[in-house]
């Protein structure tokens, strides 16, 4: 019927556009042609459209109608998008994690960067109970060495972490700051490391915070885990 054919044609066109957005969004962000959040926004829009078109296409298929190329592509792309989004299921919607919830490391150099102008870089009080409930395993590293040696080791490990760029270091205060840039979209997260004298040991704390978004799909907590594990293995 003409009405059904026109509806299928429209779905095919939207499906093609959705798949294009899914591809173009990450591509232009990876090429740094647009800010990360815009590339991700285009990607997310494409994923949502592909999912909706895919659901409509499945209904048509159940009713005995065939699938055009655009609808078939949308079904596959939508399934991949949903599967990827499902990885964040159960992850708390916060984007700032630390190994010391009572006294988190402070972002001093990060506060001077243009990208952070106007942002409040204090650790949100309402994040404390959420982080404690989900990520109680985030603990400081205790190194059996003096603070100067611990600082040197903490800096050495930070310099070796993939996609990190050290932006500030102050041996006197025992602080190191860095920026971690995601490979695909180019999101930048701020990292702070603090080395303090704990008597018989040196205590190394860390904090990782996203600049964009309200949630991070667990990225910052996992970054802390990787650094802590690497530092502990290097001592």
Does residue 195 share a domain with residue 112?
yes
- What pLDDT score was predicted for residue 3? 55
d(CA 11, CA 76) in angstroms, rounded, equals 14
Does residue 112 share a domain with residue 61?
no
Cβ atoms of 178 and 156 closer than 8 Å: no
* Residue 97 pLDDT greater than 50, yes or no: yes
Does residue 140 share a domain with residue 35?
no
Of residues 224 and 213, more confidently modeled: 224
Does residue 57 share a domain with residue 133?
no
* Residue 87 pLDDT greater than 80, yes or no: no
Model pLDDT for residues 18-60, shown as the tens digit of each residue: 999 999 999 999 999 999 999 999 999 999 999 999 999 998 8
Instruction: Provide the CATH number for the domain around residue 182.
Output: 3.30.310.80
Mean pLDDT of 198-209: 96
Confidence band of 170 (pLDDT split at 50, 70, 90): very high
Mean pLDDT, all residues of the chain: 92
Range of the domain at 18: 2-86
d(CA 79, CA 57) in angstroms, rounded, equals 12
Q: 209 vs 47, 50, 156, CA distance in Å? A: 26, 31, 21
* Residue 121 pLDDT greater than 70, yes or no: yes
Q: What total of structural domains would you count in the chain?
A: 2
Does residue 199 share a domain with residue 139?
yes
């Amino acid at each position: 019927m003409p009405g059904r054919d026109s509806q299928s044609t429209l779905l095919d066109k939207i499906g093609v556009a959705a798949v294009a957005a899914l591809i173009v969004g990450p591509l232009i962000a990876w090429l740094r042609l647009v800010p990360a959040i815009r590339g991700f926004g285009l990607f997310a829009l494409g994923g949502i459209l592909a999912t909706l078109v895919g659901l409509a296409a499945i209904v048509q298929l159940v009713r005995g109608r065939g699938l055009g190329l655009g609808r078939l592509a949308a079904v596959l792309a939508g399934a991949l998008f949903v599967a990827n989004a499902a990885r964040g299921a159960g992850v708390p919607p916060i984007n700032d994690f630390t190994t010391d919830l009572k006294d988190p490391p402070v972002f001093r150099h990060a506060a001077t960067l243009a990208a952070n102008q106007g942002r409040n870089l204090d650790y949100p009080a309402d994040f404390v109970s959420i982080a404690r409930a989900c990520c109680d395993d985030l603990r400081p590293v205790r190194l059996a060495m003096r603070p100067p040696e611990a600082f040197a080791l903490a800096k050495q490990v930070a310099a070796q972490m993939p996609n990190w760029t050290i932006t500030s270091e102050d041996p006197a205060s025992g602080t190191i700051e860095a920026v971690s840039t995601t490979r695909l979209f180019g999101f930048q997260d701020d990292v702070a490391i603090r080395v303090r004298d704990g008597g018989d040991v040196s205590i190394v704390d860390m904090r990782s915070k996203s600049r964009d978004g309200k949630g991070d799909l667990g990225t910052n907590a996992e970054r802390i885990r990787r650094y802590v594990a690497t530092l502990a293995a290097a001592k």
